């Protein structure tokens, strides 16, 4: 079943009041309330979907609004050192939102527990988000083999991370652009932000404009 699509003028979710970092996309903020502090989110996509460009847009919009949104490479340090680095970063300059790229490659505290590394990361980052009163977003890739085996290439929750993460992540989003797989689609220049899992808003899809100039720039549809 296709998820319902929403537009900027619709307020479809009554989220609890909380300090947030606006996404810069009115339709998405109407659904989610923006990037809520103390929450952990994850955005995933197939290579070429535009996830990296979307992250650039998130950081650019946040900076224009006066928010500090640094980004760290999740593969740089073992888990304990990574956690301390995040705390030190926040001590030097108050962080409003933190983006962690390449979470699939972050090394767990115990290298023998490679299967549960994403779960460990999610638990630690969820705790940090609450302790530091910031929003933390993890960026990852979907299971490409699973997606390519289906006619509908839209990511499913099962294409993302271990099932155990569902109880930890507050908001999980997949970025999908139909033109990546179907060049002749009527949805050229459109991206779908698909809410795969949420603690506080409906499981729905937000369509936004995605124009290459040369990287993708995201904005609300007319």
Domain ranges of the chain: 5-213
Quick one: how far is CA 41 from the chain centroid?
5
Q: Quick one: pLDDT at residue 15?
A: 47
Nearest 5°: the CA angle 85, 95, 120 is 50
Q: Model pTM?
A: 0.86
Q: Is 147 helix (H, G, I), strand (E, B) or coil?
A: helix
Which range has the worst mean pLDDT, 6-15, 48-57, 142-151?
6-15
Tokens 């992250």 sit at which residue?
A: 55
Q: Quick one: pLDDT at residue 129?
A: 96
- pLDDT bucket at 77, cuts 50 / 70 / 90: low
155 neighbors 147 (Cβ within 8 angstroms): yes
Q: Quick one: pLDDT at residue 142?
A: 83
Which range has the worst mean pLDDT, 11-20, 62-71, 95-104, 197-206?
11-20
13 neighbors 202 (Cβ within 8 angstroms): yes
The CATH number fitting domain 5-213, selected from 3.40.225.10, 3.40.50.1980, 3.30.70.920, 3.40.50.300: 3.40.50.300
- pLDDT bucket at 1, cuts 50 / 70 / 90: very low
Nearest to 135 by CA among 218, 81, 58: 58
Specify which residues 20 forms β-bridges with. Answer: 36
């Amino acid at each position: 079943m296709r998820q319902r699509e929403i537009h900027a003028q619709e307020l479809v979710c009554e989220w609890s009041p909380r300090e947030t970092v606006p996404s810069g996309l009115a339709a998405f903020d109407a659904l989610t309330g923006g990037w809520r502090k103390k929450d952990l989110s994850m955005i995933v996509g197939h290579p070429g979907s535009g996830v990296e460009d979307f992250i650039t847009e998130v950081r650019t919009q946040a900076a224009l609004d006066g928010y500090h949104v640094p980004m760290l490479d999740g593969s740089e340090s073992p888990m304990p050192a990574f956690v301390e680095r995040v705390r030190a970063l926040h001590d030097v300059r108050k962080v409003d939102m933190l983006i962690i790229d390449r979470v699939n490659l972050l090394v767990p505290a115990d290298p023998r527990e490679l299967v549960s590394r994403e779960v460990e990361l999610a638990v630690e980052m969820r705790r940090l988000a609450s302790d530091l009163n910031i929003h933390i977003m993890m960026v990852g890739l979907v299971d490409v083999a699973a997606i390519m085996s289906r006619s509908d290439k839209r990511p499913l929750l099962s294409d993302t991370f271990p099932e155990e993460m569902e109880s930890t992540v507050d908001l999980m989003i997949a970025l999908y652009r139909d033109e990546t797989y179907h060049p002749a689609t009527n949805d050229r220049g459109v991206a779908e932000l698909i809410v795969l899992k949420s603690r506080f808003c409906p499981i729905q899809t937000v369509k936004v404009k995605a124009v290459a100039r040369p990287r993708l720039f995201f904005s609300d549809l007319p």
